[in-house]
Amino acid sequence: VHSATKALAGHSDILAGVSVGSQAWMDKVRQMIIYLGGSMDPGAAYLLIRGIKTLGVRVGRQCENAMAVASFLEKHPKVERVHYPGLPSHPDHELAKRQMRGFSSMLAFDMKGGLPAARRFCDRVRLFLMAASLGGVESLVILPIYSSHYDMSDEELKRAGVSPGTVRVSLGLEDKEDLIEDLKQALE
């Protein structure tokens, strides 16, 4: 089961999913769809097909942008740690190199100064949008403690590797130099 809403469609304009598997599995999925509904409308199907046609070039550019941003952030004095498997400093970098052709368009980083610093950063970005989606053509930032990790205890956050100063970043297709300039001014 795979989400087609994010990178496959790539333009933040549909909700869709894909199931693949053995004939026995697909028969079960088909029966569930008959009983519960869930058939994609033709307009969404068209948009998904449109997105799949550019998937390779979009993902390649997004991964390139993510590597440039991660490398920049790792050297910045206001950043405590960058979570990105493409960086040699990441604990699973060697495994990621064996398993991946690109290292993803997603990363996270921890701000020195915790939540106040992270909120200030998110308030100051201009090119990045503050939104909780991912996989589209635009670059986004969000604070996990206000979105995906909302209402988790300190212990749960620690186990998940999320601090109050963690910022999640989804890289889009903008020029990497423009993205880095936006990060620089937001981190001032």
Q: Where are the domains positioned within the chain? A: 55-187
Q: Is 175 exposed, middle or buried (0-12, 13-18, 19+ CB in 10 A)?
A: exposed
**169 versus 134: which is more confidently predicted?**
169
When mean pLDDT is compared across 52-56, 64-68, 132-136, 173-177, the lowest value belongs to 132-136
pLDDT in tens, 107-140: 999 999 999 999 999 999 999 999 887 778 999 9
Q: Which fold has domain 55-187?
A: Aspartate Aminotransferase, domain 1 (3.90.1150)
Residue 148: pLDDT band with limits 50, 70, 90: confident
CA-based end-to-end distance of the chain = 42
Residue 179: pLDDT band with limits 50, 70, 90 = very high
Taking the model in full, what pTM does it have? 0.88
CB 12 within 8 A of CB 133: yes
Which is more confidently placed, 132 or 142? 142
Q: Which pairing describes strands 140-142 and 129-130: parallel, antiparallel, or unpaired?
A: parallel
Alpha-carbon gap, residue 8 to 106, rounded angstroms: 15
What does the pLDDT look like over 64-101, one tens digit per residue? 999 999 999 999 999 999 999 999 999 999 999 999 98
**What confidence category does residue 63 fall into, taking pLDDT thresholds of 50, 70 and 90?**
very high
